[in-house]
Amino acid sequence: MVEMLPGNFVPSPARGRVLVFDSGVGGLTVAEEIRALGPVLGVHYAADSGFFPYGDKSDEALRERLPKVAKALCDRVRPDVFVIACNTASTLALQDVRAALDIPVVGTVPAIKPAAQLTRTGTIGLLATPGTIRRAYTSELIEKFAGHLRVIMHGSIELVRLAEAHARGEDIHIDRFAEAQAPLFDVPGGEKIDTIVLACTHFPLVRGQLIASAPQPVSYVDSGAAIARQTIRVLPVETEARGIGGHAYLTSHPEDEADLALVLRRYGFPELQSVALDPMDTTSAPTDP
């Protein structure tokens, strides 16, 4: 869902080609924000569908894979800016990806700073994937911007899957969303949470379901609009206007991704292409318990 735009909003005239990247469809929420801010940008999308989801993969597997995937995609698409629309990938391998590319790379980090400014009770929730929860980067953000507050965290792969299912148009009972976020509220002090950081780009897809199923009034904060603003800021001054976007790139075979293709079409990416990777790079490496 695109952040509410002010009445005096003027779209950016920026031109160029942007490639938005995620493991699945979560990054589509970021692509929407970028399109809203820069309507003449050529926005394309890439999903590492051959390694989805990232949240249950080991740090070692992701560090090895992400720079290779980013390089292969950028060699194919030739964007002016590469946007990692994934908290898990960004908090782990942002610098590695930047080292592998010669264009600006915009990462995604949990919106802890705005949540800390918004809370009135002094207790905020962090709803993320298990990978983002355990990152040192996340701990550093909390210490820097919310060290004076109580931060209750929960990592959920189930909510990622629910968001993907919702995006495919599946009818999901509201109780499943209540169960997915319940661990935030069930711990001592959880009743004081008034602000929750959606620290996975999949989660804004089901913001309405989370609001409806929360046991108390809560504001949900994500970083999509901030990512869009940063994307515009780092665009090179000299870029080519190369179409309006609409292409999507997968690391699996498009013919095997009928559900994903349906979602991508709904979000304005009707053309799917496959980007070949070395087979060894698509081997899952689950995180140790």
Question: Under a CB-based contact definition with an 8 Å cutoff, are residues 46 and 250 in contact?
Answer: yes
| Cα separation values, 94 from 30, 63, 98, 109, 226, Å | 17, 9, 6, 10, 17
73: phi then psi, degrees, rounded to nearest 5: -65, -45
The contacts of residue 90 (CB under 8 Å, 6+ apart) are: 84, 107, 108, 109
Catalytic residue of the set 66, 142, 200, 227: 200
86 is catalytic: yes
Catalytic residue of the set 86, 93, 106, 214: 86
Among 284, 286, 288, 275, which residue's Cα sits nearest to residue 68?
A: 275
The contacts of residue 164 (CB under 8 Å, 6+ apart) are: 24, 25, 202, 263
200 is catalytic: yes
Among 23, 97, 87, 27, which residue's Cα sits nearest to residue 63?
A: 97
Cis peptide before 53 (omega within 30 of 0): yes
Q: Would you please indicate which residues are annotated as catalytic (active-site) residues?
A: 86, 200
